[in-house]
A and B are shown apart, each in its own frame.
Chain A
Amino acid sequence: KQEVTQIPAALSVPEGENLVLNCSFTDSAIYNLQWFRQDPGKGLTSLLLIQSSQREQTSGRLNASLDKSSGRSTLYIAASQPGDSATYLCAVTHSGNTPLVFGKGTRLSVIA
């Protein structure tokens, strides 16, 4: 059974710092990996989707990398801002016919 782990569970950084969020998964035979953002009391917003054949995806100040063989993904946030404060979740799917399996998320606080 696929398990997705995100460490740390919570992270606090000063504004302007570059930071990395980690995601690991037990079964490396994934189809794709997605990163989401969740603000308190809100639904999830998709940030980036990386196909298994890709090494990374970028959107603005966000860069997600994927190392399938080691079962790891990282989400890099450059020049963090207080508005980046949220919970970040990663999720993987094993094939084109299986649902997403989510990690429990990392709660990020960016302090002004």
Chain B
Amino acid sequence: DAGITQSPRHKVTETGTPVTLRCHQTENHRYMYWYRQDPGHGLRLIHYSYGVKDTDKGEVSDGYSVSRSKTEDFLLTLESATSSQTSVYFCAISDGLALEQYFGPGTRLTVT
């Protein structure tokens, strides 16, 4: 998976609790992305980062926040998880916004 790890790989949490997912890369790529993948919707971009402390919103950013304090780490936070945020979350990296993207193994999140 091109030096990308995601943690945790699986998580079950209750509605209303905060959740943080971590993406870690060893490739020193500038761009990092968070996607969610749902049946019937495909892969949708939540947020992305183009450098340390530089982030931008994607198509489905409501209810999510991100932080990037180091080149290698990109955190996705659900401040108060809802059942609609049950999904598989993928992190990806690239050297440029329009260059080849490499994906992590995914995190399966269930909000009960």
Contacts and interface: CB of A to CB of B under 8 A. Distances in A.
A46 B104 CA distance: 12
Interface of B, helix, strand, loop or mixed by DSSP: loop
Interface string B47-60: 01000000000100
Interface residues of B, number: 24
Contacts of B43: 44, 89, 91, 102
B42 A89 contact: yes
Contacts of A95: 98
A31 B97 CA distance: 11
Interface of B: 1, 4, 33, 40-45, 48, 58, 90, 92, 96-106
22 contacts: A34-B101, A36-B103, A41-B106, A43-B4, A43-B90, A43-B105, A44-B92, A46-B100, A89-B42, A89-B43, A96-B96, A96-B97, A97-B97, A98-B98, A99-B45, A99-B48, A99-B58, A100-B45, A102-B42, A104-B41, A104-B42, A105-B42
In order of increasing CB-CB distance, the 3 nearest A-B pairs are: A43-B103, A104-B42, A102-B43
